[in-house]
Amino acid sequence: MRGGKPAVVVFEDAGAIAAAAANIIDARITEKLSATGRADIAISGGRIAGPLFDDLTKRRADWTGVHLWIADERCVPYDDPDSNVKLVRERLPAPGSVLHAPPPDGDPEKRALAYSFQLKERVLDLVFLGLGEDAHTASLFPDNPAVDDERTIVPVFDSPKPPAERTSLSLGTLTAIPVRLFLVTGEGKREALGKLLGEPTRSAPSSLLPAEGTTVLADHAAAG
């Protein structure tokens, strides 16, 4: 990663990671609500997102003042099984919160532009991210032009994982967020985790983020 090594905390399993991440996110929300009356949290999908959302739902009944931002989204309708918006609506109801997401129709350019009008120049307070087996994060894939796009929200074409068209918070937007949590589980992510922690390279977009402000929560299978 840029600037050295991030904090890495190893847990027994995915359930323990979800609980730890929920603690960190809930504490960050409480901190920002107390200080400013508003908390802006970027959320991702992935296998561990559902259990994390369930844990957060149990911890916090009132989400007033919390703004939830979809870190990346597939260019599908909100009711599509691939939609992260669908996952959030089903597993993180967050009563009182405001959910921000790209619109459910249009090409990636139009969706990204519309979403950027919501974000404007706001710096988010925390983001939790997954890690792909190719060391991608959000929808920033190895050597994809979106990695170099300097806009706040970027359109993504030719994703190696279907669907091919997506939108994502940009590398610059993710870099500006002061608290970044990577949730990494499974032996299949061991090589990707090594790339994340290694030298910055476009072939492993997650490695391009700064170590400062980044914490990796990994299970024993991923950490080796």
Domain coordinates in residue numbering, the chain: 7-223
CATH architecture for the domain at 7-223 = 3-Layer(aba) Sandwich (3.40)
The answer, yes or no, to whether residue 134 has pLDDT greater than 90, is yes
Per-residue pLDDT tens digits for 67-125? 999 999 999 999 999 999 999 999 999 999 999 999 999 999 999 999 999 999 999 99
Predicted local confidence at residue 91, as pLDDT: 97
Predicted local confidence at residue 224, as pLDDT: 87
Give the model's confidence band at 189: pLDDT under 50 very low, under 70 low, under 90 confident, else very high: very high
What is the pTM for the complete model shown?
A: 0.97
Give the residues across from 73 on adjacent strands.
Answer: 167
